[in-house]
């Protein structure tokens, strides 16, 4: 194994990035101590969702687009429903809105806990995976698994199953489960909320590399709530737009090394979506408990070190448990599982906060509700360009590391974003090239 006498010229290559969702690789080229190239290559084969959505009916996007991602199917279901309801002028009831939020809390929990405990924490503690971690830290691993399961229980109850739920439809749900089944979740949720507090405290003790960066954070902001299903798109750099203006502000570009389109802002600059963005922009909208625990561990906006995202994700997990409990205890359930939906010609926009950040959908329909055109912009494609910038900035500071260590650190830096490559094209592979 190489140590700090590693040559200043080198290539870091990870052909198949692990502990991310989907297939990607990392390629970093170092010349005379300078990073000359940093690419997050996404070679996962394209699946052409936007193309085959054309000609399908308005009822189908929640089920079809869910298949873009097995980790955050609910996000796809939510954004597509909102976009379609926007196109048809459908107003859902406040009770349905709350249950959608509950379902989304379930997905945030299962996705965040999966990432915190199973994908990201092993990096901080020097394990290859959670199974190795569980040998030395059985309590933490068990806690994580149980929390994740409880998040999945919400999705399963309301959605029918944890992956690709079947109960979401445009206008609401197919069926509202019996009230008592929600109440049955409460005991576990309360345990999990305490466990989430523990998780925040535990995550805050993890060794954090020093890496403060200047970012443009973008997230949904809502008048009263922590942004999830609705809100305006705001940034820490003065952006404040209606989601209908999305396409005027954000542009997709196609680069040769990626099967995912990358999103950039109007001026070509990159931006950052996801837990860190939401936390920095919506701290005041967190529940009092989530804010209190965040402050206790010294986390208040702005948090600009992406490695700290593991703590922020834990805070959001705590929030999601708290919010789920609030919704269930409010004990208000819809009389009608769904509101009536009548298709009409037009274009609709939906943007919701997937666990990894904003997920934008746009659909154009004919008068019978047949899809003429669809656009889907997942969070990972929005973060891709920021991830590459992080690598360009991170590698030069860590050239004293061996190739092996540097590679691992670069992977960790990518995992800060919890990238979901299945979404973005839908993997990751790291190449570090050092050259004289």
Pairing of strands 172-173, 218-221: unpaired
Q: Which is nearer to other proteins, 36 or 128 (CB)?
A: 128
Q: Which is nearer to other proteins, 52 or 136 (CB)?
A: 52
Q: Which is nearer to other proteins, 225 or 252 (CB)?
A: 252
Work out whether 356 is an interface residue with other proteins (CB under 8 A): no
Element (DSSP H or E) covering residue 375: strand 371-377
Torsion on CA atoms 313, 314, 315, 319, rounded to nearest 10: 100
Dist. CA 120–CA 141, nearest whole Å: 12
Exposure letters 389-403 (e unless 16+ CB within 10 A, then b): bbbeebbeeebebeb
Exposure letters 65-97 (e unless 16+ CB within 10 A, then b): bbebbebbbbbbbbbbbbbbbbbbebebeebbe
Cβ at position 319, least distance to other proteins in Å = 21
Site for other proteins in 9-48 (CB under 8 A): 16-23, 44-48
Pick the piece of the chain touching other proteins (CB under 8 A) from 55-63, 84-92, 283-291, 379-387. 55-63
Work out whether 262 is an interface residue with other proteins (CB under 8 A): no
| Token duo for residue 399 | 């050239």
Site for other proteins in 174-203 (CB under 8 A): 174-175
Q: 302 phi and psi, to 5 degrees?
A: -90, 135
The Cβ-side half-sphere exposure at 230, using a 13 Å CA radius, reads 14
Q: Which is nearer to other proteins, 63 or 85 (CB)?
A: 63
Cβ at position 356, least distance to other proteins in Å = 13
Cβ at position 54, least distance to other proteins in Å = 7
Cβ at position 162, least distance to other proteins in Å = 6
Task: Answer yes or no: are the C-beta atoms of 104 and 160 closer than 8 Å.
Answer: no
Work out whether 67 is an interface residue with other proteins (CB under 8 A): yes
* Residue with token string 């691992």: 408
Q: Which is nearer to other proteins, 53 or 328 (CB)?
A: 53
Q: Which residues contact 324 (CB under 8 A, 6 or more apart)?
A: 102, 105, 106, 109, 154, 185, 189
Which CA distances in Å does 322 have to 100, 105, 231? 15, 9, 20
3-state secondary structure of 405: helix
Our measurement of the distance from residue 110's CA atom to the centroid of its chain's CA atoms, rounded to an integer in Å, reads: 11
Q: Which is nearer to other proteins, 217 or 417 (CB)?
A: 417
Each residue 388-427 as x (binds other proteins by CB under 8 A) or -, in order, gives: --------------------x--x--------x-x---xx
Cβ at position 110, least distance to other proteins in Å = 8
Cβ at position 115, least distance to other proteins in Å = 11
Work out whether 145 is an interface residue with other proteins (CB under 8 A): yes
Cβ at position 137, least distance to other proteins in Å = 12
| Token duo for residue 232 | 């305006």
Q: What is the DSSP letter of 23?
A: E
Work out whether 337 is an interface residue with other proteins (CB under 8 A): yes
Q: Which is nearer to other proteins, 58 or 283 (CB)?
A: 58
Cβ at position 339, least distance to other proteins in Å = 15
Site for other proteins in 365-394 (CB under 8 A): none
3-state secondary structure 172-214: EECCCCCHHHHHCCHHHHHHHHHHHHHHHHHHHCCCCCCCCCC
Q: Which is nearer to other proteins, 48 or 180 (CB)?
A: 48
Q: Which residues contact 239 (CB under 8 A, 6 or more apart)?
A: 216, 218, 233, 249
Cβ at position 368, least distance to other proteins in Å = 10
Site for other proteins in 148-177 (CB under 8 A): 148-149, 152, 160-164, 166-167, 169, 173-175
Work out whether 118 is an interface residue with other proteins (CB under 8 A): yes
Cβ at position 55, least distance to other proteins in Å = 9
Work out whether 264 is an interface residue with other proteins (CB under 8 A): no
Q: Which is nearer to other proteins, 10 or 65 (CB)?
A: 65
Torsion on CA atoms 193, 71, 338, 52, rounded to nearest 10: 170
Work out whether 317 is an interface residue with other proteins (CB under 8 A): no
Each residue 236-255 as x (binds other proteins by CB under 8 A) or -, in order, gives: ----------------xxxx
Pick the piece of the chain touching other proteins (CB under 8 A) from 96-104, 123-131, 309-317, 348-356. 123-131
Which CA distances in Å does 266 have to 357, 374, 381, 423? 19, 21, 15, 23
Q: Which is nearer to other proteins, 71 or 286 (CB)?
A: 71
Task: Answer yes or no: are the C-beta atoms of 281 and 387 closer than 8 Å.
Answer: no
Work out whether 128 is an interface residue with other proteins (CB under 8 A): yes
């Amino acid at each position: 194994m190489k140590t700090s006498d590693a040559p200043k010229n080198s290539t870091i290559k990870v052909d198949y990035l692990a502990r991310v969702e989907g297939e990607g690789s990392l390629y970093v080229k170092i010349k005379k101590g300078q990073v000359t190239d940093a690419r997050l290559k996404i070679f996962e084969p394209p699946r052409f969702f936007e193309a085959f959505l054309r000609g399908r009916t308005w009822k189908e996007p929640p089920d079809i687009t869910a298949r873009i991602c097995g980790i955050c199917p609910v996000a796809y279901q939510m954004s597509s429903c909102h976009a379609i309801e926007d196109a048809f002028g459908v107003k859902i009831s406040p009770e349905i809105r709350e249950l959608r939020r509950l379902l989304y809390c379930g997905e945030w929990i299962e996705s965040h806990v999966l990432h915190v405990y199973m994908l990201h924490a092993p990096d901080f503690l020097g394990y290859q995976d959670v199974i190795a971690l569980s040998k030395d830290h059985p309590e933490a691993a068990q806690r994580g698994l149980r929390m994740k399961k409880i998040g999945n229980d919400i999705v399963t109850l309301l959605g029918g199953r944890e992956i690709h739920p079947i109960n979401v439809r445009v206008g609401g749900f197919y069926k509202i489960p019996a009230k008592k089944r929600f109440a049955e979740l409460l005991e576990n949720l309360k345990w999990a909320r305490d466990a989430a507090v523990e998780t925040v405290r535990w995550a805050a003790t993890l060794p954090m590399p020093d890496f403060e960066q200047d970012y443009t954070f973008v997230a949904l902001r809502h008048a009263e709530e922590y942004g999830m299903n609705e809100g305006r798109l705001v940034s820490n750099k003065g952006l404040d737009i209606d989601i209908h203006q999305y396409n005027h502000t954000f542009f997709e570009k196609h680069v040769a090394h990626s099967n995912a389109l990358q999103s950039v802002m109007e001026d070509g600059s990159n931006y950052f979506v996801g837990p860190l963005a939401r936390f920095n922009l919506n701290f005041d909208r967190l529940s009092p408990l989530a804010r209190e625990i965040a402050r206790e561990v010294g986390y208040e906006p702005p948090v600009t070190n992406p490695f700290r995202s593991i703590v922020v994700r834990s805070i959001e997990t705590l929030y999601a448990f708290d919010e789920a409990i609030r919704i269930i205890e409010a004990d208000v359930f819809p009389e009608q599982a769904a509101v009536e939906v009548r298709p009409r010609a037009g274009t609709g926009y939906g943007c919701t906060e997937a666990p990894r950040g904003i997920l934008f959908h746009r659909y154009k329909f004919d008068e019978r509700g047949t899809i003429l055109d669809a656009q889907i912009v997942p969070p990972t494609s929005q973060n891709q360009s920021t991830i590459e910038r992080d690598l360009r900035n991170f590698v030069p500071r860590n050239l004293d590391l061996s190739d092996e260590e540097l590679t691992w650190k670069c992977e960790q830096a990518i995992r800060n974003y919890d990238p979901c490559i299945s979404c973005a094209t839908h993997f990751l592979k790291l190449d570090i090239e050092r050259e004289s």
